[in-house]
Amino acid sequence: MSTTAETTSEPDRPDPRSLPSTLLGMDREELCRMAENLGFPAYRGTQIHHWLYRRTVREIGQMTNLPAALRETLRDRAGGTDTVGAHPPVSVNESSDGTRKYLFPTAHGGFVESALIPEGKRITLCLSTQVGCRRSCTFCQTARQGFQGNLQAGEILNQYHSIPERERITNIVYMGMGEPLDNWENGLRSLRIFTDPEGYALAARRITLSTVGIHPQLEHFLRADTKGPVSLAISLHTPFPEERRRLMPVENANPIEETVRLIRELRADRERRISFEYTMFSGFNDTQRHVDGIARLLNGLRFRINLIPFHQIEGVDLRPTSPEEIEAFAERLRRKDIPTFIRRSRGQDINAACGLLWTRHVQQG
Ligand code: SF4
């Protein structure tokens, strides 16, 4: 890639006010179309794509092989600024266990958080897709904030683009604030951009989308044409519909049995990694009956179970299962040949549980 500024004259520019303003979040095809709409050859879009997602620039002025007239047009459509739409975090908190939590401002005035979780050679970035969430899971801090808006694809990508550790990240999980399938259009666009081999070029299997299981969108996700199979994590929390309804109102319209049927029907477990997330609540979902129920519900699928210690939330009438009981539960699942892992609690001292940093920032703010 040449970094020499070009000065070739190109056609007149259209009115930039009719165009979207943020480059970050546009995929290759959109950038090529945009270049043409602006009166420049389509390959200029490919060059912009390279600058954005391979060279990870933050300013239009850094795209030095674009004609000056195109850079000027891009600045016009960015409201007279030089930004590609990348914004640094407003705060960073580091836990004693090395977990870092970033808080990013959003276009409509809210905040979202992402967490960087180092574990040996693995460094996982946990992304948010919405400000708040509309799904009202009873055990979730984000649910209490209500729903305030969807993130644009660029705002999802920015959580990766704008942190200093970006190049060391090995895995990405869509497990922060929000339900990714409720913001599916932007979620899919961000997945396509993450996995584009000419851009960030992240391996699809190293990205995990976590969902409570919203059915039409889940089917779209399982059929989506990302570059390779993105991993899927389903929030299970209990195998019994009547109990799940008490934890997650989503069970009413999107029953877990239907979610499992869809995975079976599309043979999704044959082509991508599938895990079921299981937060442990003492006396509620940690009995032998639950072990048997999980084995029955998921019989024949290829999957793993991740057991998650519950962090007590004020005003929630659920209690954490003790570490010893979690270990015993895991053992009972393993005896049924179910691959089972226990997530370590991370970042407790910096409020790394979902939504907590946001809440603190707003309360202090
Ligand atoms: S657990 Fe996930 S889907 Fe449920 S309210 Fe929280 S963020 Fe939304």
pLDDT digit of tens for each residue in the chain (365 aa)?
Answer: 333 333 333 333 333 333 346 999 999 999 999 999 999 999 999 999 999 999 999 999 999 999 999 999 999 999 999 999 999 999 999 988 889 999 998 887 888 999 999 989 999 999 999 999 999 999 998 888 899 999 999 999 999 999 999 999 999 999 999 999 999 999 999 999 999 999 999 999 999 999 999 999 999 999 887 778 999 999 999 999 999 999 999 999 999 999 999 999 999 999 999 999 999 999 999 999 999 999 999 999 999 999 999 988 888 999 999 999 999 999 999 999 999 999 887 666 655 445 444 444 444 43
Task: Write out residues with Cβ below 6 Å of ligand 1.
Answer: 133, 135-137, 140, 142-143, 177-179, 212
- Domain extents in the chain: 16-77, 91-364
Are the C-beta atoms of 132 and 147 separated by less than 8 Å?
yes
* Residue 38, CB-side half-sphere exposure with 13 Å CA sphere: 28
| CATH superfamily label, 91-364 | Aldolase class I (3.20.20.70)
**How far is Cα 136 from Cα 145, in angstroms, rounded to an integer?**
9
CA dihedral 59, 160, 102, 129 (to 10 degrees): 110
Catalytic residue among 10, 32, 113, 140: 113
CATH class of 16-77: mainly alpha
Residue with CA closest to ligand 1 atom 6: 140
In whole angstroms, how far apart are CA 143 and each of 52, 81, 140, 217, 359?
A: 33, 35, 5, 20, 11
Q: Is the dihedral of CA 284, 216, 144, 158 positive or negative?
A: positive
Full-model pTM:
0.89
Q: Give me ligand 1 centre to Cα 330, in Å.
A: 24
CA dihedral 24, 26, 28, 31 (to 10 degrees): -100
Q: Give me ligand 1 centre to Cα 308, in Å.
A: 14
In whole angstroms, how far apart are CA 6 and each of 16, 70, 209, 244?
A: 21, 10, 41, 60
Q: Give me ligand 1 centre to Cα 8, in Å.
A: 51
Q: Among this protein's residues, is 113 annotated catalytic? A: yes
Q: Give me ligand 1 centre to Cα 179, in Å.
A: 6
Q: Which atom of ligand 1 is nearest to the CA of 177?
A: 7
∠ CA 29-177-265, nearest 5°, is: 65
Q: Among this protein's residues, is 354 annotated catalytic? A: yes
**How far is Cα 354 from Cα 96, in angstroms, rounded to an integer?**
18
- Specify the 3-state DSSP secondary structure of 21: coil
Our separate counts of H helices and E strands in the chain read 12, 12
What pairing do the DSSP bridges indicate for beta strands 171-174 and 207-211?
parallel
